[in-house]
Amino acid sequence: MIRISDDFDHGNIHCVDTSDQSNIQLEIKSDGKADFFQWFFFRVEGCADQSLKMSILNAHKSSYPPGWSGYRTVASYDQEYWFRVDTSYDGKALTIEHTPEQDTIYYAYFAAYPTVRYREFIETIKPSPLLTHDVLGKTLDGQDIDYFRTGDGPRVMWIIARQHPGEDMASWWIEGFLRQLTDPNDEMVAELKQKATLHIVPCMNLDGAKRGHLRTNAAGIDLNRAWQNTTEDKSPEVFFAREAMQKSGVDFFLDGHGDEALPNNFLDSGKGIPSWTDQHEKRFDRYSELLLTTSKDFQTVVGYPTAAPGKANLNIATNYVAETWDCLAMTLEMPFKDADVNPEPTQAWSPERCRQLGKDNLKVMAQIVDDLR
Ligand SMILES: [Zn+2]
C-alpha cells in the first residue's frame, strides 16, 4: 500500500482517494485565507517499481490553468536532483504517470525550495566576510526576514526574491546570485562593490513558503500587490523592506519571480507608471540587451503586455519602486515549464539553470552600474 503525504515544510496536497495506485485522486489546497492555488509538493512512499497514475482533479480551477498545457511535473528521490516525468492535462485534471525506481519519491510543481533548505543556505553564507547579515523584522508566523548588504559604493541596488512562495525558481536564482557575491576571487564583483552598495532580501515570503501557499503570506496577502498600501499587521514583509528602502534610497531594483504560463525567461519593466520617461526605457532596454548576450536562456520576444501610460498598478513592487525612486526597476520572470529558446528534455528549467541566471544578472549589473543616474 502506498502512502502519500504533504505533512512537511512547503508541502501541499489533499488526498481524495489513494486506494488504487492506477487511479490516485488528489487535489491542490488553496492558500488558506486566499483562493489562490497551483503549487503542489508531496511525498509518495512504498512505491518502488510500481506504476503510479495520479490525477490532480482540481487543476482546471487553479489560479493559472494555462500553466498546465505543455507542463511536465518534477520529481526527485533526494530533493537535490529533480527530473521531469510524464504529465498530461485534459482541460480538467492534471495526470502524472510514473514508475519510481525507489521506495520514496517527491513530486512537485517545480524543484522545491522549502524554508528548511533556505535556512541551511543562509547559514552557509552568513559567515562570509563579504556580506553583512541582518534581520529586517519578523513575519506574522514569527520567522526572521533575512537581509544582506555588501559593497560600499554610492549607487544603491536592491535585489529581492520569492514574494510569491510557490515560485521556487526565484530562490534557486537568488542562491546563484548570492553564491557569486561571496566568491572572493570574482574581480568583477569586487569592482561592482566599489561602485555600489547591494541590499538583498533572499526570501520575502517565508510564511507562504512554509505553509505550501502559491501566492500569499500568512494573512492571505499577495505581497506583490501590497507595496503602496502595505501595513505592518498584514504584510510586514513588504512593510519592513519598504522601510529599509526609504532609509537607503534606491537606484536599481530587481525582483525574482516565476510565471506559470509562459515557457521562457523574461523581464518586465515599470512601463505604464505615471512618471515613465525615455530615460527609463533606455535603461531597461540596455539591461535586457546585455542579459540577452550574457545568458543563453534569456530572450526578449515573449513577455507581458505593458500597461497603458499612467495605468500601471503601483501596488506591484517594480512599479512602486520605479515611480517612487525614479529608477530602473524590473521583475524577472522564470518558467515552470522550460525556456523555449534553449530547451533541455530531462530537467527542463532547473535549479542549476536558475542559479546560472542569477550569476548572469550579477554580470549585467556590473556593466550598467555607471549608468543608473
Ligand atoms: Zn510572482
Q: Catalytic: which of 232, 333, 344, 352? A: 333
Residue pLDDT tens, the chain, 373 long: 899 999 999 999 999 999 999 999 999 999 989 999 999 999 999 999 999 999 999 999 999 999 999 999 999 999 999 999 999 999 999 999 999 999 999 999 999 999 999 999 999 999 999 999 999 999 999 999 999 999 999 999 999 999 999 999 999 999 999 999 999 999 999 999 999 999 999 999 999 999 999 999 999 999 999 999 999 999 999 999 999 999 999 999 999 999 999 999 999 999 999 999 999 999 999 999 999 999 999 999 999 999 999 999 999 999 999 999 999 999 999 999 999 999 999 999 999 999 999 999 999 999 999 999 9
In the chain, the domains with their CATH numbers are 3-108 (2.60.40.3120), 115-371 (3.40.630.10)
- Determine the distance separating the centroid of ligand 1 and the alpha carbon of 103, expressed in angstroms: 34
- Determine the distance separating the centroid of ligand 1 and the alpha carbon of 167, expressed in angstroms: 6
| Residues 156 and 216: beta-carbon distance below 8 Å | no
Q: What is the pLDDT of residue 1?
A: 86
DSSP at 218:
T
Name the 3-class secondary structure at 240.
helix
Cα 309 from chain centroid (whole Å): 28
- In terms of Cα–Cα distance, which of 78, 79, 3 is closest to 46? 3
- Determine the distance separating the centroid of ligand 1 and the alpha carbon of 163, expressed in angstroms: 7
Per the annotation, the verdict on 333 as an active-site residue is yes
| Residues 139 and 207: beta-carbon distance below 8 Å | yes
Instruction: List pLDDT tens digits, range 134-174.
Output: 999 999 999 999 999 999 999 999 999 999 999 999 999 99
197 strand-pairing partners: 156
- Determine the distance separating the centroid of ligand 1 and the alpha carbon of 220, expressed in angstroms: 15
pTM, two decimal places: 0.98
| Residues 3 and 108: beta-carbon distance below 8 Å | no
> Could you give the residue ranges of the DSSP H alpha helices within the chain?
115-125, 169-181, 187-195, 206-211, 236-248, 278-294, 317-325, 351-368
